[in-house]
Chain A
Amino acid sequence: MSYMKMTASVLAIAALSATAASARDQVQVSGSSTVLPYSTIVAEAFGENFEFPTPVVEGGGSGAGRKKLCEGVGANTVDIANSSSRMTKGDYDLCVSNGVTEVMEVRFGYDGIVFASDINGPEFAFTQADIHAALAAKVVVDGALVDNTATTWADVNPELPAQEIMVFVPGTKHGTREVFDEKVIILGCEENGTMAAHEAAGAEDAEASCMELRTDGRSIDIDGDYTETLARVDANKNGIGVFGLSFYQNNTDKLQVATMGGVVPTTESIAAGDYPVSRPLFFYVKKAHLGVIPGLKEYVSFFVSDDMAGPDGPLAAYGLVSDPELAATQAMVEAETPMEAVQ
């Protein structure tokens, strides 16, 4: 029977410790897996140089992170949501209805999205129109909208290599997909005249018709991480993957990057606005937790400081395109200005 006593006492200790720890000592962050590496780099440096414990950083996706942020105010909800896209009206309304009325929107830099293929294959120089013409479900041939039958890149644009079309695009649950649709597919659709053809054909939503990708196995949705895309490109030497710039920079031994509109994607060309496919990265801070959770304000200030997010900081070394308006962000963080309501 002695083990019964032991169990009882251990249970009592567990219950005691549960009541003892009401407040939280460390910052909790959740959200986008694109922002995750940047967030962990900052968290690590923060833990080393400040007296506060290292923040706990979770992945899980931009949307999931924002929903967690908006669950309410209190130590058992997260303090910061990382996000690779802006907060939607739905999220903002959810926040407000749960009492999270003041949220700070911090834009800390930009991320480039690149097309990369096997290092030993031919080089590619794309335009958005090429990508759209290769992947869209419907294309314009001789002035008429027809099903896409292109099999090689040379069919799309004679200047491209005669390699089978096979592109691994991020799945619809990724924030990257939104940028891919918006900055590549829709722009390409306009450029090669398909958008006009859709409108002429009486499509209700020409943009939605543009974004329909072919389903014959030449455009493949990847729902996993970039590591999965890399594994697929490794297995199919004809494949072209869509990656984040920082992921490509860490795997330059296996991948070569394609130019877009004649511009090679680098942190410089993205910062200058020459490379067209990029997006801002954000994190959202719950203002009610500032001053309650120890270290939260310091972490946020440290994140946007020149030492971290500046052009020579470790985030830029990892592949972040630093924000030219970082000083404005720093001032906003100092003043703790909450974001305006999303309309």
Chain B
Amino acid sequence: MTDISPTSAEAPKRPQAHGSLLTATPLMKRRNAAETRFHAYGIAAIVVALLTLAIMLFTIIRDGHSAFYQATMTFPVTIDAAVVDKTGTRDVAEMTKVTTIGYARILGESLVKHLADEGLVVEGMTDKEITDMISKDAPARLRDRVLADTSLVGQTVTVDVFTGGRVDGYFKGRVTREIAERDSNVTVTQLDMADLMEEAGILSSQFNWSFITAPDASDLRPEAAGLGVALLGTLYMMLLTFIFTLPIGVAASIYLEEFAPKNRLTDLIEVNISNLAAVPSIVYGILGLAIFINFAGLPSSAPLVGALVLTLMTLPTIIIATRAAIRAVPPSIRDAALGVGASKMQTVVHHVLPLAAPGILTGTILGLASAAGETGPLLLIGMVAFVTNYPASPLDGGFLDPASALPVQVYSWASRSDPAFIERSSGAIIVLLIFLFFMNALAIVLRRRFERRW
């Protein structure tokens, strides 16, 4: 590029026979203008890309941040021995016969009594309306707590329970009094009571850890739905996919790059690997269903099957990335190693692989990150499911227990009827983005740390 600005004032003094670089001829102006336009195109492209990203992040965070907060009520509950332990023996086997319906009654009665004690009254509010403010998830949590510690029977304990999804939506601005009048699932008196309870300090909005740790919940209790099972499922799948893809991918790439003869067969293999990288992911799901579930008899909905399918899907990408990393190692290093008497295998294992390792790891992690966001292949192997039991630890066969996955959870929440699931769906996207962000950050750190220059 020609720099003309500071000296152009002096330019006319010097006699010019054939025109100077310093005089702005029409041709020169055109070329400079083209140059400026070219820059502008580039900047415009970047601005458009950043803007799209910003809009996407903005809408997701706007819709999803509220999933991390939840209206929670705190009040004392007297665990009535006559209800939860009819025999009075504190025998857990006998006590399990009392269902959550019994515990729901205890919670409801305690809340009604506590509100009366505190003097919180809303004109015309029935006891049933008060009871309905408690999440349908709360009785199960109380039941688990009592069954785990039978000494609580007969005691008065303080519980933190979620409010129902509509009352929670009121504090998040999703439900207004106007809407409540038309909505059969919430009444205006309940919202009035919620306001009173907030003033009295019984009800407050708290950080919702259970959104990250709790399992999925049904349509009747959106407030209790969490990502626990999906997070574990994704983690298990990523771990297994990493273990499966790395050795296969590296071995295939080393052979193709360093040992394989150049002939029609290897050309064919190479073309096919590139083709496989472009196959739609759902096709791998169909393959997985046919081979791993119907033929090999592995259980459906299992992270192991999910990982095998994702392995098939990411292998081509990883082989391509690994081959590029191996090719980037200068031939002089191989020549030097061979020159001092190393065998071909020693050259590869001692010199080429360590130098290519950062590139290989980066490629693998980026491949895994894209696999972590896939729903398509999981659809057919039964992982797009309602799963509320955590998979066991890997040592107890947890890779074969049913689990769900993060992108799957986003998909299934987005199609539920209760509007409260919309915020949870966006919240799940935020968690998925954070998950991917950490994976990508790991890839960058590895590359920075181990990168070598020649």
Contacts and interface: CB of A to CB of B under 8 A. Distances in A.
- Is chain B found bound to chain A in the same assembly? yes
Interface stretch (A5-13, A107-115, A163-171, A173-181): A5-13
B431 interface: no
Contact of B220 (A10, A24, A318): A318
Contact of B386 (A56, A227, A247): A56
B386 A75 contact: no
Interface residues of B, number: 51
B298 A54 contact: no
B417 A247 contact: yes
Given A7-B246, A13-B395, A76 B299 contact: yes
Interface stretch (A149-157, A249-257, A270-278): A249-257
A37 B183 contact: no
Given A21-B397, A51-B96, A59-B412, A250 B185 contact: yes
B100 A18 contact: no
Interface stretch (A26-34, A86-94, A124-132, A200-208): A26-34
Given A44-B388, A59-B384, A252-B184, A7 B417 contact: no
Contacts of B182: 119, 252-253
A249 B400 contact: no
Contact of B388 (A7, A11, A47, A251): A47
B32 interface: no
A318 B385 contact: no
16 contacts: A13-B395, A17-B399, A20-B397, A28-B300, A37-B219, A43-B218, A44-B388, A45-B100, A47-B389, A56-B386, A56-B402, A58-B385, A76-B298, A227-B414, A227-B417, A318-B219
B446 interface: no
Contact of B218 (A30, A41, A75): A41
Choose among A57, A71, A119 the residue with the greatest number of B CB atoms under 10 Å from its CB.
A57
A10 B243 CA distance: 8
Interface in B405-454: 412, 414-419
A56 B100 contact: no
Interface residues of A, number: 55
Contacts of B161: none
B297 interface: yes
Interface of B: 96, 99-101, 136, 140, 143, 175, 179, 182-185, 217-221, 240, 243, 246-247, 293-294, 297-301, 304, 379, 382, 384-389, 394-395, 397, 399-400, 402, 412, 414-419
B100 A249 contact: no
Which 10 pairs between the two chains have the least Cβ-Cβ distance? A253-B179, A57-B386, A225-B415, A17-B397, A40-B218, A58-B385, A48-B140, A37-B219, A247-B417, A250-B417
A307 interface: yes
B90 to A, nearest CB: 18
B145 to A, nearest CB: 13
Contact of A33 (B136, B299, B402, B415): B415
A47 B140 CA distance: 10
A51 B397 CA distance: 20
A280 interface: no
B100 A48 contact: yes
A294 interface: no
A334 B143 CA distance: 28
Given A18-B400, A227-B415, A53 B389 contact: yes
B16 to A, nearest CB: 66
A15 to B, nearest CB: 10
A76 to B, nearest CB: 5
A226 B395 CA distance: 41
Nearest to B404: A56
A24 B96 contact: no
Choose among A37, A56, A246 the residue with the greatest number of B CB atoms under 10 Å from its CB.
A56
Nearest to B419: A251
